[in-house]
Structure 1
Amino acid sequence: MHKLCAIDGISEPGSKGFDHSPKGPVFVVRYDGQIFVYANNCPHLGVNLEWEPDRFLDKEDRLIQCCMHGALFRIEDGECLSGPCVGDSLTPVPHEIKDNTIYLFD
């Protein structure tokens, strides 16, 4: 397993990106007391999603938003709700939380 970060290092709600992991670029969203980890890759264009470092959420911190074309993705399952990739989903990254730390499976 690969140690990613402590949960406390991410605001609630909030997000944080990681360029180097065994799974390639990934990002973590902390929302509603839960942790979600996705590949940092838009299903439409294959670009990174963040607007600026660690900014993956929309202004209301309720949806993940792509910086390239504004597509909106549901945090809980990564499904695209609006934009050119409606019906597609972000790729979830298998992870585990242990001792308040997020680990990725190798």
Structure 2
Amino acid sequence: MKWLCAGAELVNDSSRGFDIEGRKLFAVRRGGQVYVYSNRCPHRGVALEWHPDQFLDPSNSLIQCATHGALFLIEDGECVAGPCAGQALTRIPSREDAQGIWVSL
């Protein structure tokens, strides 16, 4: 397991990007739960964020691709609107403990 960040660095309804061993990832916290995905849209393979650490739509309720506006569910990465509807983001196994958020690459 690789350490991502301290849990307090990812507040509820926020997102944050990471580069771990050359792999671009991002994490979202929602309802106290952390979800980690590869930072790669299934439509074109591009990075998702608008600006550094901005992966969510204006309501902070969906992940949004900055390139084509595709919308993804935070809980499972499924694309619910846009050019890749029916596809999904690649989920990265993760866990959180007192030391922080960890990912399995």
TM-score, normalised by the number of residues in structure 2 = 0.95
Tell me the equivalent position of 2:10: 10
Where does residue 52 of structure 2 map in the other structure?
53
Give the match's secondary structure for 1:102: strand
1:102 alignment partner in structure 2: 101
Any stretches of 5+ residues in structure 1 without a counterpart?
Answer: none
Preserved contact between residue 8 and residue 100 of structure 1 (Cα < 8 Å): no
Aligned-pair CA distance for 1:11: 2.2
Runs of 4+ in 1 over 2 A off after TM superposition: none
Cα RMSD (Å): 1.2
How far residue 41 of structure 1 moved from its aligned partner, in angstroms, is 0.2
Aligned partners of 1:100 and 1:16: how far apart in 2? 18
What pairs up with 1:12-27 in 2 under 5 angstroms? 12-18=12-18, 20-22=19-21, 24-27=23-26
Question: For residue 83 of structure 2, what is the amino acid of its counterpart?
Answer: P
Gaps of 5+ in 2: none
Q: TM-score, normalised by structure 1?
A: 0.94
The correspondence of residues 13-92 of structure 1 with structure 2, limited to 5 A, is 13-18=13-18, 20-22=19-21, 24-92=23-91
The number of aligned residues is 105
